[in-house]
Amino acid sequence: MHRVALALALVATDAFVRPTARMPSPSGLRAEVAEGLTAEDVSKLTSSVETVFPVEEVQKILPHRYPFALVDKVVAYVPGKSAVGIKCVTFNEPQFTGHFPDRPIMPGVMQIEALAQLAGVVCLQMEGAEPGAVFFFAGVDGVKWKRPVVPGDTLVMEVEITNWKAKFGIAKATGRAYVDGNLAVEVKQMTFALAK
């Protein structure tokens, strides 16, 4: 699971392309990219990563909608156990008008919510969860933020369901999210309650 998350996170890293002294002309763009690495080369780095659930499928599973839909796609999924998902962070998101106008940073609570939504993709397909059901966030413990998440980042998230009590509709999960191969946030435990 960690390998998929790290491989995807590395795609967005600035280590792949170094700025040149001047802006190249469109015809010279390919030659100006550092050490011959092109956009096509960088794009191919994730060619072996298949999308398990595109955004349309995620929307069939989760009830969240704009501006609070925080899982763009799922790229790894083990039913009832775990998932790896992607959140592309863009400047067009409404929270950046106020958090913060001169230095936009994705609020930490939204990073946790994104992980919770990814856990919801797993939980809402488990035994005891009916189609269209809603899981409520019931608790979060052991959160550590390691770096800011900003527009232009690709948040590569992984969650693992650690406990599921179908009789009571209670799930527990852990989660981590990476940017550029570096840990951005980790959660020791999230608790969810299935709405009855």
159 phi and psi, to 5 degrees? -130, 150
Q: Give 96's contacts (C-beta < 8 A, 6+ positions apart).
A: 104, 151
Residue 99 burial (10 A CB sphere; 0-12, 13-18, 19+): middle
Closest listed residue to residue 90, CA positions, set 155, 148, 153:
153
Tell me, yes or no, if 99 is annotated catalytic: yes
How big is the CA angle at 86 (ends 91 and 131), to the nearest 5 degrees?
A: 115
Residue environment code for 129-148, b if the CB has 16+ CB neighbours within 10 A, otherwise e: beeeeebeeeebeebeeeee
Tokens 């939204």: give the residue.
Answer: 110
| Active-site hit among 55, 99, 133, 191 | 99
- Positions marked active-site: 99
